[in-house]
Amino acid sequence: RWSFVADYEEFINEMEGTFVGHGFRIGLDEEGNARIALIYKNAPLYSQGVRRGWIVKQIKDTDVAPILLSGDGAAYSDLIGPATVGYTNKFLFENPDGLPVTITSAKSTFTLNTVILYDTIHLKNDKIAGHLVFESFIEPSEDELKTAFKYFHDNNATELILDLRYNSGGYLDVAQTLASYITGNGFTGTAFAGMKYNDKCTFADTTFNFTTTLYPMDLSRVVFITSRLTASASEAVMNGVAP
């Protein structure tokens, strides 16, 4: 139930941040429209102007929303085509102005950005909240998180909004790093998470401790935003920094 089988090379490439495709995630809104829920900054469609929130009307002259509403993942996979460099699709979008936009785009290889957005929000109580949209726990994440938390530190953020709606997990050591930024340096050396095996594999038991970070936060509150996709290393962060 909790396992899956993956192509080894594809899996390793994904964990290293290498991706082949158009570079977006799609979802349904409350009105049943298919919309761009997330788009990577290095993606082909991003360079062509497509942004989060655009409605995806058609792919290859086929209406997209009915396929998503039916839950037919195989039909959508067939429609979007294989993860092959150069594979081309024609998209019909509706932009925020309500205008139709037709774009023909070829799939390409690019590096994923896992920090989709970081900024600050000025709250009514005169506090400053850091706002981080984090998509996965993979190798490139370490440098991206360092940049984001330096920004929060430099801007004196005292609260944090962590959006994990699209984050289905990844490496536990990256989760350890994120949790260490959140909790500051006051917990260095104490347990964040542990891997405990049965009596046949006790040699593999591992403890991940909170570490010292360059830009520790002194947070009074952390708010997590989640969805049904939020899993694995994301759950470890939420459990590991319990109040």
Burial class of residue 197 in the structure, from the number of CB atoms within 10 Å of its CB (0-12 exposed, 13-18 middle, 19+ buried): exposed
- Summarize the confidence of residues 33-53 as an average pLDDT: 95
- Summarize the confidence of residues 8-23 as an average pLDDT: 91
What was the pLDDT predicted at 126? 87
User: 82: which 2 tokens?
Assistant: 């294989």
What was the pLDDT predicted at 103? 98
- 19 near 110, Cβ under 8 Å? yes
What was the pLDDT predicted at 124? 87
What was the pLDDT predicted at 125? 84
Tokens 């049904």 belong to residue: 228
pLDDT at 105 over 90: yes
HSE (CB half, 13 Å, CA atoms) of 192?
30
Q: What is the pTM of this model?
A: 0.88
What was the pLDDT predicted at 164? 98
Average pLDDT, the chain: 95
